[in-house]
Structure 1
C-alpha cells in the first residue's frame, strides 16, 4: 500500500440539496465544483465529496459507545493538522453548528493522542473531524 496522498471520493445522500449545498459551502468552507439538479461536488479538504439528492429517510441515528460517548454510525470526515483542528472547531462553533460530541482529547499522553468532534449536516449525516498530536501515530498500535 502506498503512503502517498491519494484523495478519496465519497457520495452521501441528502434530502435537501440547497440546504446542504449552503452548509458545505458556507459553514465548512468547501469549494463547490460541478453540479446538476440532483448532485453537487465539493472539495472536501482535498477530497471529492458529492452530495446526492435522496428522499428523506425515517431511520434513526445509530450510535456505538466509545469513551462513554454515543458515536454515530455511520460517519465520515477527515484528519486535520492539530493547529488547524482548533481553528476549524472554533469557526464552526461561531457559525452555530451544534455538536453531537464536543471537541475532546482521547488517549491523552498516550500513543495515538488525538482530538475529535462530531456533528451532523442538515440531512442528518454524521461527520467526524479529528487531529493527532503526532500525525506519525495515525496508524500506530
Structure 2
C-alpha cells in the first residue's frame, strides 16, 4: 500500500503553547493526542506529532545557493494563495521571520517564494510556494 502522508515527531516544548502556534497561527488542525504528552497536527496533509519536551533541537546553518539556511528544518509546499494567507497570519500574530520571505531561483522553472520561521520550541520551518510544483521531481 502506498501512502502520500509523511509522519514527523518533534520535541515541542510546552505542548499547549506549540499547539496554539500550529493551530491558531499556522492554521493547522489538531487530531489524536494524549493530554500533556503529545498531539497530532494535520500539517497540510501530513502527520506532525508534537511531543511535550524540555529539550530543543540545535540549529546550525548550511550554505546553499541563497546563503546559509537553518538545518534541520521541515515545512510544506503550498499553493501561492495559501502561502500568501499564511504570511499574513504570521505577520498579524506579530511573529518574526528567521529568514524573511524571498524569491529563490528567480526567472527559471524552479522559481519559488520561501521563508523560514521558528516554532515556540525553536524547531525551524521552511514554507514554500513553487511556481511549477509539477517539476519538483521531474
- The TM-score, its normalising length taken from structure 2, stands at 0.89
* Partner residue, 1:64: 62
Quick one: distance in 1 between partners of 2:133 and 2:66?
25
Deviation at 1:131, TM superposition (A): 1.1
Aligned residues: 136
* Partner residue, 1:97: 95
Which structure 2 residues correspond to residues 65-84 of structure 1 after superposition, within 5 A? Answer: 65-84=63-82
Residue ranges of structure 2 left out of the alignment (5+ in a row): none
Quick one: distance in 2 between partners of 1:22 and 1:70?
29
Q: In the TM superposition, what whole-angstrom CA distance separates every residue of 1:70-101 from its partner, at most 9, and x where no partner exists?
A: 31100001100122212211221111121011
- 4+ residue segments displaced more than 6 Å: none
Quick one: distance in 2 between partners of 1:102 and 1:66?
16
| Alignment RMSD | 1.7
Residue ranges of structure 1 left out of the alignment (5+ in a row): none
Deviation at 1:60, TM superposition (A): 4.2
* Partner residue, 1:54: 53
